[in-house]
Amino acid sequence: MLLKAVVRRVGYSLLTVLLATLLVFVALQALPGNLATQLLGRDATPSAVAQLNATLRLDRPAWQRYLEWLGNALHGDFGRSLVTRQSVVGEAGLYLRNTAMLAAIVIVVGITLSLVLGVVAGLLRDRWPDLTISGLSLIGMSVPEFTVSTLLVLAFAVKLAWLPAVVTDGPTAPVGALMHAIWLPAAALTIVMAAYIIRMMRTSVIDAMASEYVEAARIRGLSSTRVLFRHALPNALLPTLNVIAINIAWLVGGVVVVESIFNYPGIGTLMLQAVRNRDLPVLQFIAVLGATTFVVCNLLADLTATWLNPRLRTPGRAG
């Protein structure tokens, strides 16, 4: 049944989040060095290091600390930063707000533009609009984020001086102060993300327009507009939804490079700081956030695909 399939997917999603937190914890335990020594400096005495380890509760076995963190996290308590001693959720809140602003612009502009360009390329296959769009999307897929970001800085910040090259405000800056500097990182993320969606949408539109059900709709005398919007596009969207879901999840957990280049005070910047400081509670929270976003986006993509394709709603096919 459809409900059984959804419950099973939710169970797999929860397991994915759990494994993500465990992998982050194990990876940090494998890093050389000690947080207490790093905070106190090389000249710290062994007794001072031991005392700080006890204060930070780092003197207990790793498995005990993980299980304690997991139990608290299940009750919504993600602990305190080992460096600032502030609540992890409170400290990450402003960084997450800033990343959410950036992601919202990229999602609204990037996904809309990508779908439109993908449809145009698919409908005008092998003509100059398709060749232009496909060529640019291939370039976007081939060029890494840091190269795209650097080229945008050279063009719009250095050459034209229209926008600032980096963000000078911190995470506590008001929304209005960040808006002037948000457009270059948003453009870099849009270019990288759009390339994959365009390619998938183009291929899906070509396949849909050549399908038997579209041909049957044409034979019945339906208008080209109705054939496109009623029959072709809903089916062309199905394989593209998972690509969109992965890219949306990437916006939360994978913007580290772009945020670092533009000094943007988002969750990626906070993650880099936490890695440098070995701040495990902060990294654990970011791991939960990224994994949860990923599985939720994929679950929503599957449910949307089920809604768009009536055949998937049949109990025999939904499982």
Return the CA Rg of the chain: 24
For the chain, the farthest-separated pair of C-alpha atoms sits apart, in whole angstroms, at 86
- Cα distance between residue 114 and residue 120, in whole Å: 10
In this structure, how many other beta carbons lie within 10 angstroms of the beta carbon of residue 3? 9
**CA-to-CA distance for 259 and 244, rounded, in angstroms?**
21
Q: Which fold has domain 90-277?
A: MetI-like fold (1.10.3720)
8 A C-beta contact, residue 136 and residue 190: no
d(CA 102, CA 248): 11
Dist. CA 247–CA 243, nearest whole Å: 6
The CB-based long-range contact list for 227-230 (8 Å cut-off, 24+ gap) reads 228/123
- What is the C-alpha to C-alpha distance for residues 110 and 195, in angstroms, rounded to an integer? 10
Q: How far is CA 151 from CA 34, 134, 188, 260, 262, in A?
A: 39, 20, 9, 15, 12
In contact, 34 and 49? CB cutoff 8 Å: yes
Residue-level pLDDT at 132: 92
Q: 127 φ, ψ to 5°?
A: -95, 175
Residue 63 contacts residue 29 (beta carbons within 8 Å) = no
pLDDT for residue 311? 58
Place of tokens 């539109």: 205
Q: Which are the contacts of 210, defined by CB distance < 8 A and separation ≥ 6?
A: none
Write down how long the chain is: 319
What does the block give as tokens for 179?
């808006």
The burial class, CB within 10 Å (0-12 / 13-18 / 19+), for 175 is exposed
Residue 109 parent element (H or E): none
With a CB cutoff of 8 Å and minimum separation 6, the contacts of 102 are: 182, 185, 186, 189, 251, 255, 259, 264, 266
pTM of the model: 0.75
φ/ψ region of 159 (left if φ > 0, alpha if ψ in -120 to 50, else beta) reads alpha
Per residue of the chain (319 residues), give pLDDT as tens.
Answer: 566 767 777 787 788 888 888 887 787 777 666 666 666 666 677 777 777 777 767 777 777 888 887 888 888 788 888 777 788 888 888 888 888 888 888 888 888 999 999 999 988 888 898 899 989 888 888 888 888 888 988 988 888 888 888 887 777 777 777 888 888 888 888 888 888 899 889 998 888 888 877 777 777 777 777 877 777 887 788 788 888 888 887 776 557 888 888 888 888 888 888 888 778 788 888 888 877 887 787 777 777 766 666 555 554 444 4
Alpha-helical runs (H) found in 88-182 = 88-105, 112-123, 128-142, 145-152, 175-179
Q: What is the reported pLDDT for 316?
A: 47
